[in-house]
């Protein structure tokens, strides 16, 4: 008689038997979402991560970079060769620029605070010296006035002709009938003389009236030489001359500018020329003003004036120890100015 195998008892759908699953058998059905309590086995697929969540695991070279929220900072320094993370426009990373890497975008007008490495640094413009005072001294006919005017124009400075002050005092003495050699009588006349200077030139007022045009004749120059020999006159005019120079950016000419008036001038020049050349120039000036031309007489007059200027006790004519001496005998005014400009520019450099 054939024995029948007993049938397996039926199990309700979803019920668990409590017996471990045998190899090769079908896996029991598990309710959707239920957890088995079995740990995840390595080498399985990577679990899904919520967008924007951070895992705390450092990036492994060669693997794909995890998605990062735009603008978020990872705190990890940039590795050479990797792509640069996106940076908000205008934001500063705090990392110094590495040579050879591309320059980060910078907001228009923003300053990085770092000087250019290969760019040329612009040197700030600076006037000649701290005050911008230039003195030019020399005897009559050496070309002081012409050169000083051209130099001031080239530099954008004010030109001050101090010789006009002595001429104005001489004119006042002549009008008053005062002996120009009488120092005590001449000195009070200084109070009536006022010197002004601007870009248009030097102007002299005598008792409130502009007499500049009357001070260019040969007679005014002769009287000025005699007036200038008085120490009292020079002392009283000195204050006005220094006051004009204190503003700076001034070219001042005379016979004692570099030694007495502006001993601390930034650049000092002393012009000279041969007696024949100076006489020729002065004769040409006299003819240009409608005067007569007598070369021999003009030379004799210059020699007397030179001797008086050099031998007077008060501020005699001489070159300052640190003055640049230029012989203008064979030079044009433009050539003299060019030499002066070279000196001014050289001394203006730090």
**Can you point out the beta strands (E) in the chain?**
133-137, 158-161, 193-198, 201-206, 209-210, 250-254, 267-272, 324-327
pLDDT class for 8, splitting at 50, 70, 90? low
Q: What is residue 267's three-state secondary structure?
A: strand
For residue 324, give Cα distances in angstroms to 140, 233, 335, 340: 18, 28, 15, 9
The predicted pLDDT at position 79 comes to 47
Contact predicate 129/348, CB 8 Å: yes
Position 263 in a domain = yes
The residue among 138, 170, 166 whose CA lies nearest residue 274 is: 138
pLDDT, tens digit, for every residue of 161-182? 999 999 999 999 999 999 999 9
pLDDT class for 128, splitting at 50, 70, 90? very low
Position 167 in a domain = yes
Which domain covers residue 148, as residue numbers?
Answer: 133-348
CA neighbours closer than 13 Å in the CB half-sphere of residue 25: 8
Of 93 and 130, more confident:
93
Position 56 in a domain = no
Cα dihedral across residues 239, 243, 244, 250: positive or negative: positive
Domain count, the chain: 1
Contact predicate 168/180, CB 8 Å: no
Position 46 in a domain = no
The predicted pLDDT at position 119 comes to 32
Six-digit token pair at 315?
């501020």
The predicted pLDDT at position 33 comes to 55
CATH code of the domain in which 140 resides: 3.40.50.300
The residue among 69, 96, 98, 97 whose CA lies nearest residue 85 is: 69
When pLDDT is averaged across residues 129-133 and rounded to a whole number, the result is 68
**Alpha carbons 132 and 341: distance in angstroms, whole number:** 13
Contact predicate 139/278, CB 8 Å: yes
The predicted pLDDT at position 263 comes to 96
| Segment among 36-50, 124-138, 149-163, 217-231 with least mean pLDDT | 36-50
Position 121 in a domain = no
Position 341 in a domain = yes
Please tell me which of 96-100, 103-107, 163-167, 268-272 the model is most confident about, judged by mean pLDDT.
268-272
Question: Which residue stretches of the chain are H helix?
Answer: 144-155, 163-176, 183-186, 218-227, 231-246, 275-288, 295-311, 333-348
Position 239 in a domain = yes
């Amino acid at each position: 008689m054939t024995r029948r195998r007993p049938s397996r008892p039926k199990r309700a759908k979803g019920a668990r038997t409590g017996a471990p699953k045998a190899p090769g058998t079908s896996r029991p059905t598990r309710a959707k979402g239920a957890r088995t309590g079995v740990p995840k086995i390595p080498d399985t697929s990577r679990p899904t991560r919520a967008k924007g969540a951070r895992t705390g695991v450092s990036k492994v070279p060669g693997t794909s970079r995890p998605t990062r929220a735009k603008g978020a900072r990872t705190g990890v320094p940039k590795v050479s060769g990797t792509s640069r993370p996106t940076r908000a426009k205008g934001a500063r990373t705090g990392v110094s620029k590495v040579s050879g890497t591309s320059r980060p975008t910078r907001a228009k007008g923003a300053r990085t605070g770092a000087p250019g490495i290969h760019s040329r640094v612009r040197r700030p413009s600076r006037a000649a010296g701290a005050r911008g005072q230039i003195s030019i001294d020399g005897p009559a006919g050496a070309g002081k006035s012409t050169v000083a005017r051209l130099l001031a124009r080239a530099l954008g400075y004010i030109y001050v002709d101090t010789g006009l002050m002595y001429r104005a005092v001489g004119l006042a003495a002549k009008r008053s009938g005062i002996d120009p050699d009488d120092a005590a009588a001449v000195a009070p006349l200084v109070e009536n003389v006022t010197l002004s200077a601007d870009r248009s030139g030097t102007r002299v007022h005598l008792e409130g009236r502009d007499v500049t045009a009357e001070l260019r004749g040969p007679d005014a120059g002769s009287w000025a030489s005699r007036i200038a020999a008085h120490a009292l006159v020079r002392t009283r005019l000195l204050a006005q001359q220094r006051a004009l120079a204190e503003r700076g950016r001034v070219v001042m000419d005379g016979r004692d500018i570099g030694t007495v008036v502006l001993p601390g001038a930034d650049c000092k020049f002393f012009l000279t020329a041969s007696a024949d050349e100076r006489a020729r120039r002065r004769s040409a000036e006299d003819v240009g003003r409608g005067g007569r031309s007598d070369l021999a007489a003009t030379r004799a007059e210059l020699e007397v004036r030179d001797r008086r200027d050099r031998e007077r006790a008060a501020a005699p004519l001489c070159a300052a120890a640190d003055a640049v001496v230029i012989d203008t005998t064979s030079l044009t005014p433009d050539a003299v100015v060019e030499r002066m400009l070279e000196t001014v520019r050289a001394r203006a450099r730090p």
